[in-house]
A and B are shown apart, each in its own frame.
Chain A
Amino acid sequence: MLKYAVKRVAMGLLSIFIVATLTFFLMNMVPGGPFVAEKSISQEAQAALAAKYGLDKPIMQRYATYMTDFLKGDMGVSLRQRGRTVSGIIFSKFPVSARLAGIAVLIALLLGIPLGCLSAYNRGKLADNTIIVFTTCGIAIPSFISSVLLLYFFGSKLNILPTVGLNSLASYIMPVTALAIYPTAYITRLMRSSLLDVMGQDYIRTAKAKGLANFKIIFKHALRNAVLPVITYVGPMLAGLMTGSFVVEKIFTIPGLGREFVSSIVNRDYTMVMGTTIILATLIITANVIVDILYKVIDPRINLK
């Protein structure tokens, strides 16, 4: 068990290192530095800026400098948002994104699991078919489409929800909905098929043969086994939410980390790209490692191996 955990953490660290390295070199392959876009700046001034941030040095040297600084906890300063450190920007933006994603995760789990059970329990009946239709559509609609459609109908047409920022409780509704649709639909489907699968197992037949009532069979015997696949989905779900946050934060003009990541790429803000990529990757990888270890704790069978 401990051995597995250590191995898993080591692999996670390696993954983070690989992400950092790849990002660094990829970013530097892009022709045109961070200051090219600013036409107002002369050639000489650009060269001066590049020198100031050390961009004129050979790439390997820059890589080494960045990595050692990073290990010391220094992610440098933003190249485009003058005077702000990367870590400062990340710390101010991260809570916004985390709150959005957190609410979306809660909704996905609290809605998806019961809906999946409901669907499985009423297999083939109207409730099941309705849920299947909605979830099938839910996983077919990209989050930017749902965001934009929400924005159009509730923001512009009906004008009942705020469309920009996160200043009131109501302003959370649309971005959270847009983020939560896919994972909710996915968990519902996962839960449904997993519960149906479990309901076909021999031990459910045993429970039935004992004379247990249906709800007791589902809640005691089936649910705990059926929920295991949902736990493994938590990692991919977080990655998906991160992906979704890039567009949702852009559409609803939310000052979060996702929007920061995208704009830093478009702006070639090297240090910001590095900082946000490493932080986001670390979050996802950490979540995956935790889920993997947790899974082994929850399912008594796996300990054996």
Chain B
Amino acid sequence: MKKNPISLHIDPDEFAPATSEEKESLVIMRESVSFWKDGFRRLFRNKIAVVSLAVIILIVIFAYFLPAFWPYSYEQQIQGSENLAPFKYSTAEQARIDAGEKVFPHVCGTDKLGRDFAVRLMMGTRISLTVGLVCAALVLLVGSLFGAIAGFAGGWIDNIMMRFTDILYTIPDILLIIILAMVLRDPLKTLATVKGFQWMQTVGPNLIAIFIVFVLLYWVGMARITRSQVLVLKESEYVTAARAMGAGNGRIIRKHLLTNCIGTLIVTTTLQIPSAIFTESYLSFLGLGVAAPMPSLGSLATDAVKGMNTFPHLLLFPAIFISVTILVFNLFGDGLRDAFDPKLKN
């Protein structure tokens, strides 16, 4: 029998029984991490998602904060400064500069009415973002409520509710949406002048029409996702186990269903934002989006189409802004999905 060479160097004490503390000190258990902590860790390790989030934050600052500090306003028509290229001054402004005055440059030029285009871009981005965010929130509210009710109720209620969505799902909604966008405009404008509905004036009846249209367009998808999540969870063993241990409905909903659905819901909602922005710009192009003087990125681009050969920057800036906004929201949504809801990946 070959003798093991290392045995020569072993101190007999080493063969003493180890205490349980010593044993435990050896077990390097990976810390148990919560769903959120784990998800965020994965999210922040994803470079693309982090960069997208940074860009989203920049866009939000650009859209919601920068206009307040900008020396021009989005409706302000500067006489004599029509159709300036970026960083160019009108003769009047040049004269003021020559006189030693400071004139804030038109970073993105001006449009044909002499409005500073940079601030119009900011406002356009603000409207587009608002459309995206509010629509996503409303869709979440309506869709998940409908889906959750159907999923929980089960039986014939579920059956009727889901037949309803099945039929809606097969309808090419964009046709009806375009018609509806048209139909809603005037009645809402009239409604906004009625007492009690004047708050609509501050939001803009137009924008409200867009919200309604979008909720109608997108809620079905969200309802279906929520329902299927609720059904899966309702059948899952841990919910049965919780029920067996006497947990009430409220506790089950809060503790189990909500925490398990929420990943999916957040991801779906985030991915809803870019598609709403996408559709709004599309409707704007058809002349059915947000109305003048309030600009959205889509309407800015649309307005610039006619003069694009002479003033291409008026087209390129909003075009790039729409695409980049949709892009970063898509990428961030993908990152969220990978981090919080890998099973949703198709």
Question: What residues on B are CB-neighbors of A78 within 8 Å?
Answer: none
Task: Report which residue of B174, B175, B183, B281 has the largest number of chain A beta carbons within 10 angstroms of its beta carbon.
Answer: B175
Nearest CB in chain B: distance from A19 CB, A: 6
Q: Is the CB of B322 within 8 A of A145?
A: yes
Given A26-B183, A144-B282: A19 in contact with B171 (beta carbons within 8 A): yes
Of the residues A30, A32, A156, contact of B308 by C-beta under 8 Å: A156
B287 at the interface (CB under 8 A from A): yes
Q: Is the CB of B322 within 8 A of A288?
A: no
Q: Is the CB of A140 within 8 A of B172?
A: no
Question: What residues on B are CB-neighbors of A143 within 8 Å?
Answer: 282
Q: How far is the CA of A79 from the CA of B309 in the complex (A)?
A: 36
Q: How far is the CA of A61 from the CA of B309 in the complex (A)?
A: 51
Would you list which residues of chain B between 281 and 336 have a CB under 8 Å from chain A? 281-282, 285-287, 298, 301-302, 305, 308-309, 312, 315, 319, 322-324, 326-327, 330-331
Per-position 1/0 for B205-239, Cβ under 8 A of A: 00000000000000000000000000000000000
Q: Kindly report which residue of chain A lies nearest to residue B176, judged by CB atoms.
A: A22
Would you list which residues of chain B between 180 and 206 have a CB under 8 Å from chain A? 180, 182-183, 186-187
Task: Report which residue of A27, A193, A281, A285 has the largest number of chain B beta carbons within 10 angstroms of its beta carbon.
Answer: A281
Q: Is the CB of A273 within 8 A of B170?
A: no
Q: Kindly report which residue of chain A lies nearest to residue B305, judged by CB atoms.
A: A148
Q: Is the CB of B319 within 8 A of A280?
A: no
Question: What residues on B are CB-neighbors of A277 within 8 Å?
Answer: 175-176, 179
Given A11-B166, A15-B167, A239-B172: A149 in contact with B179 (beta carbons within 8 A): no
Q: Is the CB of A142 within 8 A of B315?
A: no
Of the residues A190, A194, A242, A265, contact of B172 by C-beta under 8 Å: A242
B346 at the interface (CB under 8 A from A): yes
Question: What residues on B are CB-neighbors of A242 within 8 Å?
Answer: 172, 174
Of the residues B171, B180, B274, B278, contact of A15 by C-beta under 8 Å: B171
Question: What residues on A are CB-neighbors of B186 within 8 Å?
Answer: 30-32
Nearest CB in chain B: distance from A129 CB, A: 11
Given A22-B176, A26-B183, A31-B186: A266 in contact with B170 (beta carbons within 8 A): no
Question: What residues on A are CB-neighbors of B330 within 8 Å?
Answer: 136, 139-140
B178 at the interface (CB under 8 A from A): yes
Question: What residues on B are CB-neighbors of A266 within 8 Å?
Answer: 182, 287
Given A140-B274, A140-B330, A242-B172: A152 in contact with B315 (beta carbons within 8 A): yes
B102 at the interface (CB under 8 A from A): no
Q: Is the CB of B180 within 8 A of A26?
A: yes
Q: Is the CB of A11 within 8 A of B170?
A: yes
Q: How far is the CA of A11 from the CA of B166 in the complex (A)?
A: 9
Nearest CB in chain B: distance from A45 CB, A: 23
Given A148-B301, A149-B319: A243 in contact with B174 (beta carbons within 8 A): yes
Question: What residues on A are CB-neighbors of B37 within 8 Å?
Answer: none
Q: How far is the CA of A143 from the CA of B279 in the complex (A)?
A: 10
A54 at the interface (CB under 8 A from B): no
Q: How far is the CA of A261 from the CA of B176 in the complex (A)?
A: 11
Q: Kindly report which residue of chain A lies nearest to residue B308, judged by CB atoms.
A: A152
Nearest CB in chain B: distance from A174 CB, A: 14
Q: How far is the CA of A15 from the CA of B183 in the complex (A)?
A: 21
Question: What residues on B are CB-neighbors of A247 within 8 Å?
Answer: 282, 285-286
Nearest CB in chain B: distance from A81 CB, A: 19
B47 at the interface (CB under 8 A from A): no
Q: Kindly report which residue of chain B lies nearest to residue A265, judged by CB atoms.
A: B182
Q: How far is the CA of A243 from the CA of B278 in the complex (A)?
A: 12
Q: How far is the CA of A262 from the CA of B288 in the complex (A)?
A: 10
Question: What residues on A are CB-neighbors of B178 within 8 Å?
Answer: 246, 261-262, 265
Q: How far is the CA of A15 from the CA of B167 in the complex (A)?
A: 6
Question: What residues on B are CB-neighbors of A288 within 8 Å?
Answer: 170
Question: What residues on B are CB-neighbors of A23 within 8 Å?
Answer: 175-176, 179
Q: Kindly report which residue of chain B lies nearest to residue A17, judged by CB atoms.
A: B167
Given A23-B175, A29-B183: A142 in contact with B167 (beta carbons within 8 A): no
Q: Is the CB of B309 within 8 A of A156?
A: yes
Question: What residues on A are CB-neighbors of B319 within 8 Å?
Answer: 145, 148-149
Q: Is the CB of A148 within 8 A of B170?
A: no
9 shortest interchain CB distances as A-B pairs: A140-B327, A284-B172, A140-B326, A144-B285, A15-B170, A243-B174, A145-B319, A141-B323, A156-B309
Interface residue ranges, B against A (CB under 8 Å): 166-167, 170-172, 174-176, 178-180, 182-183, 186-187, 274, 278, 281-282, 285-287, 298, 301-302, 305, 308-309, 312, 315, 319, 322-324, 326-327, 330-331, 345-346
A-B contact pairs, 6 of them (CB 8 A): A15-B170, A19-B176, A145-B323, A148-B315, A152-B312, A190-B346
